[in-house]
């Protein structure tokens, strides 16, 4: 991976970007794409949009959501303990005992999520999942007044673990869902800036996907693309237990290549273009059959205005919605290569009518 791109990826993952509070990561993304895009702007919703080959045709939109799951401060008690609620689909079993950061009025404030010790639980309660309302954040404050010097109701919170490397090409971090998608669409745009396509290409770091695909809906409406390609993560099924349940998702493996989605949310001709391109370019790929709306930005992009030829490229991801998601750097590189090569084949008269 290009050194500057790798630094961009690390900075992106180490940023705070829970849904509705994406600015820190969005600024990292904007700074990276500004060095090669023809135009970069931010819309009223907070989506960051970069354009290459302005004036080309047709319009193609690449979307990777830049928000992550997290928490929000709800209440501060008289002793300075902070009660919170989840932003997005957070597993309460994951939350307890985590170190966190609060984006407060004086910057990033460290804290820990506390709960009653297991020793003090009644025997019948030890097997139950602790609810969010029974947990709290401890920042070391001695009183409500001291806590409120640093933290306010409504402040966003994320788990503390950041980017790190495992063996081989595996990397680990918080919020790979879906900041690796935002990384891939930026990288694909960089490749397209070096070998320009016929199309006018919009790369979008979309916001608020984790709470309802919101940013993709508004940005796609504004861009009005002919083709829309979302990049997200999907479940890697190559770990113990999940190996025995491949019928749920498919035989998806970390390091096996980008995953090309197929189903009613996906334009048939765009799917075929991805497969054809991967084979011509020697890019390994996997296929995931999704017989309904995908639950990704591709869902709302497809339904924009009179309809968009939608595609979905996914990155195999282990331990989704935990602070320790695992992906392959090679899968990220190959996803960007695949998208850039496929977009270069799209011309103004390319017919995406599905049949």
Distance CA 209, CA 48 (A): 14
Residue that is written with structure tokens 């939608």 in the block: 310
Q: Which of the residues 68, 209, 288, 325 is marked catalytic?
A: 209
- 194 catalytic residue (yes or no): no
Neighbours of 186 (CB within 10 A): 29
3-state helix, strand, coil in the chain (%, to 5): 35, 25, 40
Distance CA 197, CA 203 (A): 14
**Residues forming a β-bridge with 233:** 315
Distance CA 94, CA 241 (A): 19
Nearest-5° Cα angle at 317, 313 to 320: 120
Give the DSSP per-residue string, 201-261.
EEEEEE--GGGTSHHHHHHHHHH--SEEEEEEEEE---STTGGGGHHHH-S--TTS-PEEE
Distance CA 7, CA 254 (A): 22
Active site residues: 209
């Amino acid at each position: 991976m290009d050194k500057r791109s790798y630094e961009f990826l690390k900075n992106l993952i180490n940023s705070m970007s829970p849904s509705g509070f994406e600015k820190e990561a969005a600024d990292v993304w904007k700074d990276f794409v500004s060095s090669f895009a023809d135009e970069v702007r931010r819309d009223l919703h907070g989506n960051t949009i970069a354009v290459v080959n302005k004036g080309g045709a047709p319009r193609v939109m690449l979307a990777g959501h830049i928000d992550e799951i997290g928490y929000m401060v709800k209440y501060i008690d008289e002793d300075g303990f902070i009660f919170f609620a989840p932003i997005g689909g957070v597993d309460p079993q994951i939350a307890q005992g985590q170190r966190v950061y609060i984006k407060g009025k004086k910057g990033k404030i460290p804290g820990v999520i506390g709960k009653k010790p297991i020793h003090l639980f009644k025997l019948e309660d030890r097997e139950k999942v602790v609810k969010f309302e029974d947990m709290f954040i401890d920042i070391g404050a001695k009183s409500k007044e001291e806590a409120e010097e640093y933290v306010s109701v409504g402040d966003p919170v994320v788990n503390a673990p950041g980017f790190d490397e495992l063996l081989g090409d595996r990397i680990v971090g918080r919020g790979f869902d879906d900041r690796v998608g935002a990384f891939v669409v930026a990288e694909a745009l960089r490749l397209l800036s070096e070998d320009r396509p016929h199309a006018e290409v919009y790369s979008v770091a979309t916001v608020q996907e984790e709470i309802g695909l919101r940013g993709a809906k508004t940005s796609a409406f504004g861009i009005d693309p002919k083709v829309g390609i979302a990049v997200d993560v999907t479940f890697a099924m190559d770990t113990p237990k999940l190996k025995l349940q491949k019928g749920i998702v498919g035989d998806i493996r970390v390091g096996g290549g980008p995953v090309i989605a197929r189903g009613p949310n996906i334009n048939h001709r765009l799917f075929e273009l991805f497969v054809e391109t991967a084979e011509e370019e020697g890019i390994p790929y996997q296929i995931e059959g999704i017989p309904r709306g995908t639950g990704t930005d591709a869902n709302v992009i497809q339904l924009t205005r009179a309809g968009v030829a939608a595609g979905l490229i996914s990155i195999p991801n282990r331990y989704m919605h935990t602070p320790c998601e695992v992906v392959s750097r090679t899968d990220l590189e190959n996803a960007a290569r695949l998208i850039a090569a496929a977009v270069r084949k799209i011309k103004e008269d390319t017919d995406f009518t599905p049949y």
